[in-house]
Amino acid sequence: MGDERGTAVLPLQRPDPDRVGPYRLLGRLGAGGMGVVYLGRSPSGRPVAIKVIQRRFAGQPRFAARFRREVAAARRVTGVFTAPVLDADPDAAAPWLATAYLPGLTLREVVTRFGPLPPAAVRPLAAGLAEALGEIHRAGVVHRDLKPGNVMLTAGGPRVIDFGISRPEDSVTITRANSTVGTPGFMAPEQLRAEKTGPPADVFVLGSTLAYAATGREPFGDGALESRDLRVLHGRADLGAIAERWLLDLIRACLRPEPERRPTAAGVLELLGPADDGAPSLLGTRWLPAAVAEEIDRCSAEAAAPRGPAPRPAAGDLGLDSAVTTDTGSGEGPVTRPPAAGTARRTLLAGAGAALLTMTGFGTLLWRLAGDDPGDDDVRSATWRTGTAAGPPPEGVSRWKRRVTESRLELFAAGGVLLANGSDEKGEKAHVRALDPRTGKVLWSREGASASRPYEDVAYLSFDRAAKVGAVRAATGEALWTHDVPFDVDGGGTGDIVATGQIVAYGTQKITGLDPSTGRRRWETRPGGRVTLFAAGGLLLAVAETALLALDAATGRTRWKYPLDYGDFPVAADGMVFAVDRFGTQHAVRAGTGAPAWKLPNAGGWGGQAGGGRLYTEARRDGEVLALDAATGRRIWSRALLARPKDDPRAQATALCLAGPTLYVGCTDDVLYALDPADGRIQWTYGADKPAAVQPVSTGGLVILGAPDGHVRAVAPPSAQPNPNGGPRATP
């Protein structure tokens, strides 16, 4: 395309129709596995963007119902600063949707090419976006993916676009229940916790978007997804570059961790106050810096130029299954993952960094559907799962399945039982339940309590309503001791309870060590700032904002401190501690001294596992599982498990569990893989019906899977046969 500016329009292919509904087609703007986006013209001559879905998906009842719901939700959204759905026929043989065609630049493109916006432009931008969100929320819709890439700056003012993963507030079925959907760095805490998401989540991300517009940097940083999530959950926004007090106060109000304390969209407008007399109107480009306005005006002029249908090629047509999309290069992409990660990159057609076509009203929903792609079944049955030419590996056997909670599921195994944390749909009432792993029967439960990672046969509970922590026998629920948590305004809360055998500890700012046998307090310490506690390899570890610390179990004093930028999820084995920094670099630290042993870029994923002289982890964002030599970091083997391209961020191994002779890997393609830890060979697989959003656990010869909607399933290896007691029995 050279230096050509404007949206790229490709020729129509031989199978393409001349018209869709009343719209004449002029060319292709993009295509993917589910359909084609066309540039069209209305009978009045208005340019429109039309997405046509492949017929094979239209025949699937679940897909068709979801499409109709999304169309209905998107049609309810009106307003000056949104992009309207113009027309749709969800019941056509090939369903289609027509939306406004918006020439211009995304906010991310503007900041990338021209730098941050001046305060004089951020104020009207904030007003326009708040007004748009108000219209969206009044229609009963929550956007759920506001971000700089979904804000278009056009000749008609700013527009909030791409309700690709939006849904009606009263809907729970458009996307997978309780899955975490959004874009890393632009998600509210309640989204990361997979809780019910309402209008306050959009306001939170409005604050993040305005901070980006004003500084040119994402307020929660970049790098590893888990690190960004941790900063969001802990409220660690970097707003130091914002000098204007009014803007700083506005963004801080939007970024309050508690949804109920954030302003509404109308409240944001009140905080901004009326526009100054003589301020340029948002309905144009005069409010923008001159260079930005000039570029947007040029995009608009080119889009308005007369255009006839692009000539069709004589041969070599690609058809509806072609994939002629290009990435915007923004690095943004909606994800589906546990309260710690997974993902889907938006694929849009952009012209040489200038005008951007966007399908609003769930414009890119059908490119991704958060891992719920109707085509997934086709992919899953392909021979890629074998890793050999001998055919697919054997399938595991489901033993039982039951729903044990509504949200926030977390699984542990201890004392021969399965412990399941969860809460009600709103995430307000916690509970823990102990299940028989052979049958799924509930053995005991505690309402208003959550279990932390157990130690041997003891589980440690924290209580919602009472300021207490306690220890119980995992097998029976028998109370062993309780400890009253003293009120401390600066204490920072109990956080997770961790145990090493020598000490039980809790806290986030003030750390308290308890006697494991009695629950009596042994010591208190303040390591400096907010930390997250972990117990790994017999060590008591604390992850701070800029360091990994090892605390002395006897005294609470810091034994060593290793610089680590927003590290998370350390594991330890074989005299080493392994942790990942914000950039996805894997660090190996000597457990005794904190001295660095080695580090390896792009080798850090969530929830690594260590043992037998090896570290097992996910290669950052490319779907590979790695086995590394624990002492040197040398790669022993790697295994690509997914059919998606390696540069597709949806291709992720999200949960690892090392259990004896098997490494279990849950992936974003909803498949559990059982690997041989020695060489990475796939021993068997199990096609789950929900994403692997919860780390699997292994107990009693079974592997236990958890889904975001609170379902738990026990799976046995294919060599196991059922026995009268409900557990697996090996075949000869």
Q: What is the pLDDT of residues 610-639, one digit of tens each?
A: 999 999 988 655 567 899 999 999 999 988
Q: Measuring CA to CA, which residue among 363, 365, 379, 354 is closest to residue 301?
A: 354
- The model's confidence at residue 465, banded by pLDDT at 50, 70 and 90, is low
- The model's confidence at residue 366, banded by pLDDT at 50, 70 and 90, is very low
Distance CA 144, CA 167 (A): 8
The residue with greater pLDDT, 34 or 175, is 34
pLDDT in tens, 642-668: 644 444 444 455 678 898 889 998 876
Per-residue model confidence (pLDDT) at position 537: 80
| pLDDT higher than 90, residue 603 | no
Taking 3-state DSSP, the helix, strand and coil percentages for the chain, each rounded to the nearest 5, stand at: 20, 35, 50
Per-residue model confidence (pLDDT) at position 403: 92
| Rounded mean pLDDT, 598-614 | 82
**Residue percentage of the chain with pLDDT more than 90:** 37
- Tracing tokens 């307090």 back to the chain, one arrives at 521
Residue 116 CA, chain-centre distance (Å), reads 26
**Residue percentage of the chain with pLDDT more than 70:** 73
End-to-end CA distance of the chain: 65
| Rounded mean pLDDT, 175-182 | 42
Residues 6+ apart with CB under 8 A from 708: 176, 177, 178, 179, 180, 194, 338, 407, 409, 690, 691, 693, 694
Do the Cβ atoms of 692 and 668 come closer than 8 Å? Answer: yes
Distance CA 155, CA 344 (A): 30
| pLDDT higher than 70, residue 416 | yes
Task: Average the pLDDT over each of 352-356, 468-472, 511-515 and give the range with the smallest value.
Answer: 352-356
Distance CA 371, CA 181 (A): 10
Per-residue model confidence (pLDDT) at position 338: 35
- Tracing tokens 């068997």 back to the chain, one arrives at 684
Per-residue model confidence (pLDDT) at position 605: 62
Mean pLDDT of the chain: 77
Residues 6+ apart with CB under 8 A from 87: 21, 22, 23, 48, 97, 98
pLDDT in tens, 675-714: 999 999 999 998 866 555 578 899 988 999 988 778 899 9
Residue type, 676: D
pLDDT in tens, 78-110: 777 777 788 888 888 888 988 878 788 889 999
Q: What is the pTM of this model?
A: 0.51
| pLDDT higher than 80, residue 3 | no
| Rounded mean pLDDT, 127-145 | 89
Distance CA 136, CA 73 (A): 10
State the CATH class of domain 19-313+334-358. Answer: mainly alpha
